[in-house]
Amino acid sequence: MENQQPEQQEQQEQPQQQERRIKSVLDQPLPEINNQLSGSSGDESEYSSSEESRGNKKKRVPRKKNTVKSENEVVLEEKKARLPSAEEIYNRIKWDVSMVENVDNFQIGYEDRFDGIKFVIFSEFEIGVIPLHRVKQFKHNEKLVWDRASRLYDFPEFQQPESSINAAAEQQQQQVVV
């Protein structure tokens, strides 16, 4: 009987303690309420207690505070320039370069599942047989112009010959006249 009486008193005190805690929390400003509800005081706010709340008894890890960053760190955090996809490079060679230069000067390096990277001349590349997500590199006259792994994009600029530009302009004028 004596053991049951202290337990009953503790059970009665628990709801009263909860009510007191709720009343004290409601009287406090918002940031202090969050600390009270999470079970931490204002001094411990620089520590993350997510592991404690899961029941793990791991050492607290201090949160990263806002620090001044050097110029090098800021440059590293800038967003990288978009790398054109293998399909975009393929289409550029097929439609833009084919009017100016022989497409056989281009090679496509694709990843073979068993042999590593294999190079094929552009005109021999079968787009339906080898998926474009396996294409890793493009070469022009043995110079690497596009590489997915190193994010290299050094595609040469090709100027269309004057004769083809003039021929295209003449065709447009003839269509307008007719």
Is the pTM higher than 0.95? The answer reads no
pLDDT under 50 in the chain at which residues? 42-52
Residue 74 covered by a domain: no
Query: 98 and 40: one domain?
Result: no
Do residues 151 and 92 both lie within one domain? yes
- The verdict on residue 22 lying in a domain is yes
Torsion angle in degrees (nearest 10) through CA of 163, 168, 172, 177:
40
Shared-domain flag, residues 41 and 99: no
Residue 137 lies in a domain: yes
pLDDT value at position 89?
Answer: 94
Predicted local distance difference test score (pLDDT) of residue 131: 92
Distances (CA, A) of 14 to 11, 23, 106: 5, 14, 79
Domains in the chain, number: 2
Whether residue 70 is contained in a domain is answered as no
Host domain of residue 147:
86-162
